[in-house]
Amino acid sequence: MTELKDDLNRALRSVTFGDAPVERAIRGGRRLRNRRRLTALASAVAIVAVAAGYPALTRNAASPPPVTGQTPSPSHAAALHRDPAITSRPGTDVANSGVIARGTIGGAQWSVAISSSFSAHDQACYTGFVGTGTGPAARSAGQVVSTCAPDLASLVAYAPHDPAGIVGATGNASGSTTTYDAALGAVAPDVTYLVLRFTDGQELKLIPVTYRSHRYVAWLAPASMSVASLSAHLGSPRADGGQIMTAVPFDAPDGLPVFGLWLKSSQAVPPRADGVIGGGTQGGRVWAETAYQGPWGTCFSYTPGDLECVPLARLGTTQVLGGWGGTDASPVFGSAAPGVAELAITLSDGTAVGVTPVALGNERLFAFWIGKGLWPTGWAAFDTTGKRIGTGSVVKRIGNGSSASGSATPKPGSSSVG
């Protein structure tokens, strides 16, 4: 049965899917929230909403040369920025220790471990450590971060057709001035290994290990080091089949890298573009919503360190996507289909807000301010002549304010948009 499942996963990944509907991405939990979490040894753990040993590696003729698992010599860029050399290796005795991965950062040791009970419904946490000494880093006194979820399944997960899902947190060890990023990844059954590339040229080979019947990888690095990409080599747990899917993260200032959109080499990479898609003054307060399109999909940011990303190659339909409205007054954002010149967004109190989409990369995006306690309920789209060319409804999502999706409901004689 396991081999059959692996074969099915490989077959699904061999198909190049078109842009998934935005609603499916949102419904499947693929809209990603990211907030830089600063934690110290004495700080309370944060709750997030969103686990066998070293496998023998074999490869066929179609596979690229294997990554050794040891970090190559730092590049010239690393010397300029004084990035420390990093190594990584999978944890051992994972079932008992929970250590997913460990390694070194310069002269210091690091490790990332999961802790949970045998019950599937008990709280689960992952913790990053940095310390010195000859023993495992997990036994040193330098806890960097500890992040928890209600259960192991919600600690980290991967979306259908994706090779991995990544979560991260940032913190400092007690008494240390260095900030570190600790990441944990859930890995699909047909992933042999992953390669993490930093912008300074260093690479880490991440070998999945099994904990409580789930496969995981992890890494820890100084927050000053930027991640260039994460590539998943597909095949089976023990054999690289030659297929590769790569995720380029969105790395916002004062934020953790966000991994969401995985692409095969044959797929077109979205263009890079960024700009303000809405803004103004509300109650004497200036606001602006900024969008960032690129290989990660499209990310939206209203306040520094907090963003929301939609991991699709292109937002080409009319949708109210989300935001931080509902409980607080704040912006809501969305996308518009080609040909839409203006939108009228109906709110829960019966009023309407007019918005003009802004061209960004190969997308057309918008943002508007929404009052406290309100949420969008529907939209109508108009072309340059003022003719209504489509309508849609918006679903309020519990716990996410005005986060929404649209379903087109065209009037007779008009075309649906979105």
The whole-number pLDDT of residue 329 equals: 83
Higher per-residue pLDDT: 126 or 9: 126
**With left for phi above 0 and alpha for psi between -120 and 50, is residue 73 left, alpha or beta?**
beta
Whole-prediction pTM:
0.76
The whole-number pLDDT of residue 401 equals: 41
Q: What is the CA radius of gyration of the chain?
A: 23
Two structure tokens written together for 388: 């209504």
Higher per-residue pLDDT: 47 or 211: 211
Dihedral sign for Cα 311, 307, 202, 56, please: negative
Higher per-residue pLDDT: 280 or 330: 280
Two structure tokens written together for 324: 């931080």
The whole-number pLDDT of residue 15 equals: 41
Domains of the chain, by residue range, sit at 2-264, 273-408
Q: Would strands 58-59 and 239-247 be described as parallel, antiparallel, or unpaired? A: parallel
For residue 357, pLDDT beyond 90: yes
Q: Count CB neighbours of 46 within 10 A.
A: 17
The β-bridge partners of 196 are 204, 230
Q: How confident is the model over 372-394, as a mean pLDDT? A: 95
Would you say 163 and 262 are in contact if contact means Cβ atoms under 8 Å apart? yes
Report the distance separating Cα 189 and Cα 207, nearest Å: 12
Predicted confidence (pLDDT) per residue in 250-299, tens digit: 987 667 899 989 999 999 999 999 999 999 998 888 999 999 999 999 99
- 9 sits in which H/E element: helix 2-13
Report the distance separating Cα 300 and Cα 312, nearest Å: 13
Would you say 333 and 322 are in contact if contact means Cβ atoms under 8 Å apart? yes
The whole-number pLDDT of residue 118 equals: 76
Two structure tokens written together for 364: 């057309």
Q: How confident is the model over 150-175, as a mean pLDDT? A: 92
DSSP-derived 3-state class of residue 138: helix
